[in-house]
Amino acid sequence: MDASSTTTMALRVSSSSSSASSYSSFKPNKSLPFKFSTFRPPPQPTPFKSLKCIQTPPSSNPNPLKHPPPPPQNPGSASPFSCSALTLSSQTSELVPLKLQTLISEFQSLLEPIDRVKRLLHYAALLPPFDDSGRVDSNRVMGCTARVWLQAEMDEEGKMRFAADSDSEITRGFCSCLVSVLDGTSPEEVLRVKTDDLSSLNVGLPGAQRSRINTWHNVLVSMQKKTKALVAQRHGTPPFEPFPSLVVTAEGIQAKGSFAEAQARYLSPDESKVGELVNVLKEKKIGVVAHFYMDPEVQGILTAAQKHWPHIHISDSLVMADSAVNMAKAGCQYITVLGVDFMSENVRAILDQAGFEKVGVYRMSNERIGCSLADAASSPSYMGYLEAASRSPHSLHVVYINTSLETKAYAHEIVPTITCTSSNVVQTILQAFVQVPDANIWYGPDSYMGANIRELLQQMTKMTDEEIAEIHPKHNRDSIISLLPRLHYFQDGTCIVHHLFGNEVVDRIKEMYCDAYLTAHFEVPGEMFSLAMEAKRRGMGVVGSTQNILDFIKQRIQEALDRNVNEHLQFVLGTESGMVTSIVAAVRSLLGSVRSGGAEINVEIVFPVSSDSVTTSSSSPGLDSVKLVMSYYLSYLEFPVGRDVPSTAAVHPVHT
């Protein structure tokens, strides 16, 4: 909602004082652990007067969720109890916008940043602290720089009651403001508030600390999650089944669900098989590059072998080829590629360009190892798309790396073509528009990624020029608005793996994991992309490549380690589950670096998979993949280095 509509609502509500019931007409459930006090309409005609609250004496109520005070006998007199919200009647459904606008105006009326911070500290003093029974992990809010605890209940009249606390006075002030707006309101009113509605709550913190500002948003999201759960409980609605997950600690791994149990088994492979593989790689000087999306059982063996043979690397597509060059420089005579055909082609081409034509490149099968995106890029409809591009002035084709060399070469014959990855696609497109301001850019073949790029750029039009410059220094709002009509994307190409992240999965995430860290590959459908982008705006999400996802998880864990307080971090893995091997390895490495006696950090990796996916994945035999990897390398034992590998062997040379 914009400021003008909020103000209109506020004025309409304030003009009818009869719509607000008196405090004495509201009788809270005696078991409710919240405090109440009177709401008095502002004496001035303007609705932008700050709300008055009376601070609780420090010793009167150590935990507002355990020791509710008696209601005041005279609503018109001063009360010794804290004010956490207005009391609403059924006729005051527009009171939340009024309260929110009043709060916004209160801070905006203070011109000096130090005065706004002082006002925030004033609100912090009004919030009754929790005792130790309230400061528990189950009440923690993720994504806040300081520790925040939140409790919620629904009273007899169906109103939401909130209480919050923090170990930071600044953060307590944030929490107090939100509680003052939403405590005592209906579930519908709580869920109607958007994080964007809080964007005007600028309290002028020194250094414009975004992590502090995100507290507004993350506490709100946690309030809404608890509200949904209480509404479902009140209505007798069965909760969603939780997604399978792995919980990684410094001591080990706990699997939740059969799908996660299968993943966990692959993380501790047979040491004899690992040793056998390492011996072959060392003897024959073989380097291994594999994609994050390889099966977890395959990655489990490779990750274990990597400790004994450094020339094994698991990464996204482009880095696979760069790693192969480094392996060739280190003396590897062969590079084996675990991935689809275009990845093997990329490795071969990059090695040739680097002067390592004599280094052999091998793939896993003499059968075609296809990819739905690569297939889409070689379809007649894509050829028609390129023909249309060739007829437009100043056209540039930006093709996703997940396509064959033949497709790239053929496309370049029709329209100038450059290649991008999921990690650099946005920068590639923005830079192209800088160098050719009147360009028409044609992206393909991934339709989801194309739509997501457009959505991201449209969101950039709502940013300030300074925020846009952080993404690309040569762009501003005007340039982004100007380029959007000249950005085209192919409409008929999808990754079959990321296509699974559709409405069913998104609905469950919204209900059960909206307060968790959300990760999404650029190839996911728009619903999942939008969810992750919303989380990203409040510091709780990432959208990008597999490497971007891994880096984000590592960064958040390192931040938790630096804070050195007990935490449970929950990450929803919005990409193929095979990536869990690299994530778990990174998490183990980070947690293992903590000195004994440090904080206890638990990292939960959630697999947002449908029931069908769980059944299929957990029942599929993993041994076949392991055998394939072993035969892939052990076949070298039969042939001396330097001889051609026969077509009956498990590995097959790649030529350009």
Report, as residue numbers or ranges, the catalytic residues: 144
Helices (H), 126-243: 169-182, 187-192, 210-235
Q: Which residues on neighbouring strands pair with residue 519, listed in sequence order?
A: 542, 573
Beta carbons of 557 and 569 less than 8 angstroms apart: yes
Peptide bond into 72 cis (omega under 30): no
3-state secondary structure of 10: helix
Checking DSSP bridges between strand 253-256 and strand 245-248, what pairing results, if any?
antiparallel
- Give me the long-range contacts of 426-432 (CB less than 8 A, separation at least 24): 426/453, 426/456, 426/471, 427/472, 428/398, 429/398, 429/453, 429/487, 430/471, 430/472, 430/474, 430/475, 431/472, 431/474, 432/396, 432/398
Q: Please tell me the distance from the alpha carbon of residue 536 to that of residue 466, in angstroms, as a whole number.
A: 18
Q: Go through 474-502 and write b for each residue having 16 or more CB atoms within 10 A of its CB, e for each that does not.
A: ebbeebbeebeebbbbbeebbbebbebbe
Query: Of 439, 437, 456, whose CA–CA distance to 448 is shortest?
Result: 456
Beta carbons of 108 and 203 less than 8 angstroms apart: no
Q: Please tell me the distance from the alpha carbon of residue 517 to that of residue 310, in angstroms, as a whole number.
A: 32
Helices (H), 236-270: 258-266
Measured N-to-C along each axis, helices 580-592 and 546-563 cross at an angle, to the nearest 10 degrees, of 20
Q: Please tell me the distance from the alpha carbon of residue 309 to that of residue 303, in angstroms, as a whole number.
A: 10
- Backbone phi, then psi, for 337, in 5-degree steps? -115, 120
